[in-house]
């Protein structure tokens, strides 16, 4: 998940890179999402940052690992 702030938007370079990787490994293995931290209360701790934040999750037997 690319967690971004409204004033800078998602990282276009990284979005393109993840799309390329997803096409190479298959869509069943990699999912990519963007989330605007200004509008999601659960991501409040990432507001006011000036560096990119990427949240990675792994799913194993229907259990999400952060």
**DSSP 8-state symbol, 42:** G
Number of domains present in the structure of the chain: 1
Note the pLDDT of residue 65: 53
Confidence band for 62, pLDDT divided at 50, 70 and 90: low
Note the pLDDT of residue 64: 57
**φ/ψ of residue 60, rounded to 5:** -135, 120
The string of pLDDT tens digits covering residues 37-59 is 888 999 888 888 767 788 888 77
The string of pLDDT tens digits covering residues 4-21 is 888 877 777 888 888 888
Residue ranges making up the domain that contains 36: 2-65
Q: Which residues are 4's β-sheet partners?
A: 36
Note the pLDDT of residue 13: 80
Give the C-alpha separation, 15 to 26, whole Å: 16
Contacts of 27 (CB under 8 A, 6+ apart): none
């Amino acid at each position: 998940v690319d967690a971004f702030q409204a004033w800078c938007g998602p990282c276009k370079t990284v979005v393109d890179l993840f799309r390329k990787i997803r096409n190479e490994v298959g869509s069943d293995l990699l999912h990519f999402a963007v989330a605007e931290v200004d509008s999601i209360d659960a991501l409040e701790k990432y507001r006011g940052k000036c560096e990119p934040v990427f949240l990675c999750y792994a799913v194993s037997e229907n259990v999400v690992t952060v």
